[in-house]
Structure 1
Amino acid sequence: MHKARAFRPFKSLALLLASLFALCLSVPGWAFQTRIVSIPSTAMNRAFGATVVLPDDYARGSGAARYPVIYVLHGSGGSYADWTSNTHIGKLADRYHVILVMPDGGHESWYIDSPFDPASRYETYVGTEVVSYIDAHFRTLASRETRAITGLSMGGFGALRIALDHRETFGAAGSISGAVDPRNCEDEPGIDRVFGNPARHADFWTRNAIVEDADGFAHAHIALTIDCGVSDYFVQSNRALHDKLIALGVPHDYAERPGGHTWPYWSNAIRYQVLFFATSFRHNGWHSPARQV
């Protein structure tokens, strides 16, 4: 007669815990740090919030390693908290060993220094003051070769505008679903406050439209990436910009993917853009801390 084998709960529990531990080790951990900082603006005589995401090895390292920086701008009506609230962008800081900075650009600033509203000086703020603050307070690689800027919608316009006007600061730039022709946005509430009346100041609207200033990229030597969803209402103006860049012989990365003017599209697109920038940094001689170990 066979004896029944006794059930050993402690041994089974130990095996279960060991299995769970092994599973945890096989799943990549994300230990990036998110900080909210207040960055002052002399140009606008006030301070604005900004989100800074530091890769995990920023804190774990020796304290000597310095990192490239990618500035990521929000869209119309948004804030510095948009990207971290709606996407998993923080994981990209860990994956590519970069610092991500998301400054506040106001609700409808279009990231320009408006001649019609002297209190709206967001190009100076983001393109100069924010960069100076980040370089002074974090371990950055403070060169144009290791600094990039991108953004969505209004922020896509702003990123390209700032990159063109501050080409000594940014060596790479991108646009996601960018409003590259603000003349298509005349009905946007508040846009005339910074661009002026579209009828009386049509020349200012045209002069600042990225599609009309594509030749500015011909001699800027900026690593450029642009994408837009095929269902996005800005896709035609992005195609027009792409065609002009081709005609001018400007090297750039251009993509259209399924999707519209929505967070699911932007959440996906930012992954490709950060990869593009990290590749650009490496081409310029940067080696991530992970590769230096």
Structure 2
Amino acid sequence: MNKILLLCAALMLAAICHASKVDTIGVYSDAMHKKIKCVVVTPDSYEKNDKRFPVIYMLHGYSGNYSQWVSIAPDNVTAADKLDVILVLPDGGYGSWYLDSPVDSSIRYETFVSKELVKYIDATYKTAADKQHRAITGLSMGGHGALYLASRHKDIYGAAGSTSGGVDFRPFPKNWDLAKDLGSYETNKQNWDDNTVMTNIDRLQNGDVKLIIDCGVGDFFIDVNRQLHKKLLEKKIDHDYIERPGEHNGQYWSNSIKYQLLFFKNYFEGK
């Protein structure tokens, strides 16, 4: 069934991206000793000139994969043409939370995304290879991943976003395979504290990374997003924070990502 879904997603990509070029590639991770699949979307203008293009990394949610953004928001993949950017949609594992796990050496998605993948994309594609032209966002687990990675690698990402992000997973110690990544909450509390967005945001000072955060008011993550917003205000870190009607689902994400991609485009252009 998974193979059928992936095939359908690939066919959907081919159908909707008649101008953009869509590649599904395998990038080898030295940290995890395996190839990891990613979708890379280049705009129509990519082959027509020698300019360097900004890159937006888009992270999927828990139990998703590299095709999730395509399946929930297929029209938005054409944003590569509209915004003249490269989109990179990496696989982040079933429930990695984009961490380098302190308890499982096979989970090294922080290293993969922010070091190995960024290095590969910049070496392989015509990218503007600096933080001023690189952004990262994601949904749910990927929203956590985007803010977590941007906080810990502010030299790599100039802008970051989260939609419906699990920005503090400590209130949910029994959910989403988190204990597999971090150990049980009861006996490994320090691991949980060290690897949640809510504490890693302390690494940032105002102006380090441009931030956009949104969450539906009917989402089970709304409270932790509100707490993150409050903390950013207390730290006087500028950010866009949006609440709108919606729940934790594809309908919400397919709408919110439009605003985030425009936010990144404006950032790339210095607006």
TM-score of the aligned structures, taking structure 2 as reference length: 0.90
SS of residue in 1 equivalent to 2:118: helix
Report the identity percentage: 44
Listed as ranges, the matches of 1:223-238 within 5 Å are 223-238=210-225
Alignment correspondent of 1:204: 191
| Residue 99, structure 1, aligned to residue 76, structure 2 | no
Alignment correspondent of 1:148: 135
What does the per-residue CA deviation read over 1:160-209, in whole Å, with 9 as the maximum and x for residues that have no partner? 11111111111111111000011123222421111111000112212222
Give the aligned CA root-mean-square deviation in angstroms.
1.4
Contact 2:151 2:201 in 1 (8 A): no
Q: State which of 31, 35, 39 in structure 2 corresponds to 1:43.
A: 31
What does the per-residue CA deviation read over 1:229-261, in whole Å, with 9 as the maximum and x for residues that have no partner? 111000010000001101110000110111110
| Residue 215, structure 1, aligned to residue 202, structure 2 | yes
Query: Partner letter of residue 49 of structure 1?
Result: K
Divergent runs of 4+, >6 A = none
SS of residue in 2 equivalent to 1:218: coil
Listed as ranges, the matches of 1:1-293 within 5 Å are 31-59=19-47, 61-62=48-49, 64-87=50-73, 88-218=75-205, 221-283=208-270
Contact 1:164 1:220 in 2 (8 A): no
SS of residue in 2 equivalent to 1:110: coil
Contact 2:29 2:112 in 1 (8 A): yes
Moved more, 209-218 or 226-235: 209-218
SS of residue in 2 equivalent to 1:211: helix
Q: Which runs of 5+ in 2 are unaligned?
A: 1-16
Give the Å deviation of 1:36: 0.4
What does the per-residue CA deviation read over 1:83-135, in whole Å, with 9 as the maximum and x for residues that have no partner? 11221221211111010000000001110001100111000001111101111
TM-score of the aligned structures, taking structure 1 as reference length: 0.84
Contact 2:144 2:166 in 1 (8 A): yes
Number of aligned pairs?
Answer: 254
Contact 2:133 2:158 in 1 (8 A): yes
Query: Partner letter of residue 79 of structure 1?
Result: N
Query: Partner letter of residue 42 of structure 1?
Result: D
SS of residue in 1 equivalent to 2:32: coil
SS of residue in 2 equivalent to 1:200: coil
Alpha-carbon distance in 2 for matches of 1:165, 1:171? 12
Query: Partner letter of residue 34 of structure 1?
Result: V
Alpha-carbon distance in 2 for matches of 1:90, 1:33? 10
